[in-house]
């Protein structure tokens, strides 16, 4: 393998993992590492402090560095830093899903103009190989659907809520204590992380540019213990699902939200902090990729894997990995969540009045919604009832209109939750 000089931007959890793995490869030399705080103590044995700089431009402007590994994350200042690196003819390996989802189109265009490659296997699902398989082995297929669990933090929280009957708050605290969740977990629990990843994955799978700003996003913060119990009784598990699919009219449906997933479904069986991606295409049919979606070692596996593939290509050609170049010129026509069709779980708090179930049925029928299951379990101390409704496949806008009308009824106190259902 050709000797390669690399610079690393970021030495957090993933950066440290990358550094440690690269020590096994004698043909790869780490020339410089950019960090925010040079004086921070590193959990790395025999670490050479002279490698550190607090200026990332020391890396991207260094003529001796061939490849820039960016694992710092975030849109800014990463965009300007990597843009400079590309203009200086340096290849990029990155795990930065936010940057790629928001400004990937710009970076890929600049990279193409400079005959530079951007590899980003680690940006989606950590250690699970999915980006390069879609671009290479699966390129003969017309991929029509992706359904995935792409965030380990939320999957862990929902798993513990189901297994231990914990509240959301308790499960989140446990995830934070174990290092699965950040002190500020917003990016994970509100679905931003999964949205970035499904944006990237949908773009390369459907060969159309998906706009991150048009992806419907809903997190797990409204999921209650009662929802978990109801799901269990009805034969479901609740998961944060990232979904992308091509509709019959050619439009693209891309979204992230919690779903009640039937226990028989493969995604329902994926627990704790694992990730799983189901890809449906022709002629291959359905494929499932499951594994560790985050963490130092799994993510480092993908980062270093990209680097080694790039190194082997640079040994033989000046135009490496043409299949990795993004040539998406068509912009996806993404549909609004209101135009999607789903089965629904609706949790309703109502007064214990005669005919209340009939009122619910009547309003649903008025809005073209067929009810599959409706049940009431006992009466609360305040003489209210918790009513659970499962619908047949219905249009989202019809369901929302029905809920608005239900809330105007004197006997309906509150819509506790609305979840889409995956059978």
**What is the three-class DSSP state of 307?**
helix
Q: Is the dihedral of CA 355, 359, 360, 366 positive or negative?
A: positive
Residue 185 · residue 168 · CB < 8 Å:
no
Q: Which residues contact 331 (CB under 8 A, 6 or more apart)?
A: 208, 209, 211
Residue 231 · residue 318 · CB < 8 Å:
no
Q: Which of 139, 141, 59, 150 is nearest to 101 (CA)?
A: 150
Just list the catalytic residues. Answer: 197
| CB neighbourhood size of 310 (10 A) | 23
DSSP codes, 39-93: TSPP--TT--GGGEES-THHHHT-TT--EEEE-S-SSTTHHHHHHHHHHTT-EEE
β-bridge pairing 274-282 and 236-246: unpaired
Distance from C-alpha of 14 to C-alpha of 10, rounded to nearest angstrom: 8
DSSP codes, 187-234: HHHTSHHHHHHHHHHHHHHHTSBPPGGGSEE--STT--HHHHHHHHHH
Residue 228 · residue 238 · CB < 8 Å:
yes
């Amino acid at each position: 393998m050709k000797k390669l000089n690399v610079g690393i931007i970021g030495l957090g959890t993933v950066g440290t993992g990358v550094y440690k793995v690269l020590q096994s490869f004698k043909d790869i030399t780490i020339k410089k590492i950019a960090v925010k705080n040079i004086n921070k103590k590193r959990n790395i044995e025999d670490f050479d402090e002279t490698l550190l700089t607090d200026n990332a431009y020391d890396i991207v402007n260094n003529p001796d560095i061939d490849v820039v590994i960016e694992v710092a994350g975030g849109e800014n200042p990463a965009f300007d830093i990597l843009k400079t690196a590309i203009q200086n003819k340096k290849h990029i390996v990155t795990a930065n899903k936010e940057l790629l989802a928001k400004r990937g189109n710009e970076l890929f265009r600049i990279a193409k103009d400079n005959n530079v490659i951007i590899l980003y296997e680690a940006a989606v699902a950590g250690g699970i190989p999915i980006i390069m398989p879609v671009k290479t082995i699966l390129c003969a297929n017309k991929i029509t659907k992706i359904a995935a669990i792409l965030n380990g933090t939320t999957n862990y929280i929902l798993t513990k809520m189901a297994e231990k009957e914990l509240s959301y708050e308790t499960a989140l605290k446990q995830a934070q204590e174990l290092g699965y969740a950040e002190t500020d977990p917003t990016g994970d629990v509100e679905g931003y992380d999964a949205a970035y990843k499904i944006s990237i994955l949908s773009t390369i799978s459907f060969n159309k540019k998906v706009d991150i700003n048009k992806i419907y996003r809903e997190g797990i913060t409204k999921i209650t213990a009662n929802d978990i119990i109801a799901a269990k009784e009805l034969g479901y598990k609740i998961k944060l699902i990232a979904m992308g699919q091509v509709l019959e009219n050619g439009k693209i449906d891309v979204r992230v939200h919690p779903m009640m997933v039937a226990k028989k479904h493969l995604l329902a069986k994926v627990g704790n902090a694992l990730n799983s991606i189901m890809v449906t295409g022709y002629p291959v049919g359905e494929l499932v990729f499951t594994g560790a979606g985050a963490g130092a070692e799994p993510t480092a596996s993908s980062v270093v894997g990209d680097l080694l593939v790039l190194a082997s290509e640079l040994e033989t050609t000046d135009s490496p990995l043409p299949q990795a170049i993004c040539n998406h010129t068509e912009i996806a026509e993404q549909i609004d969540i209101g135009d999607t069709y789903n089965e629904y779980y609706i949790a309703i708090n109502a007064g214990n009045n005669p005919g209340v179930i009939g009122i619910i049925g009547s309003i649903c029928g008025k809005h073209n919604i067929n009810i599959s299951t409706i049940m009431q379990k006992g009466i609360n101390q305040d003489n209210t009832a918790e009513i659970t409704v499962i619908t047949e496949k219905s249009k989202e806008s019809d369901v929302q209109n029905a809920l608005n009308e239900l809330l105007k009824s004197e006997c309906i106190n509150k819509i506790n939750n609305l979840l889409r259902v995956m059978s």
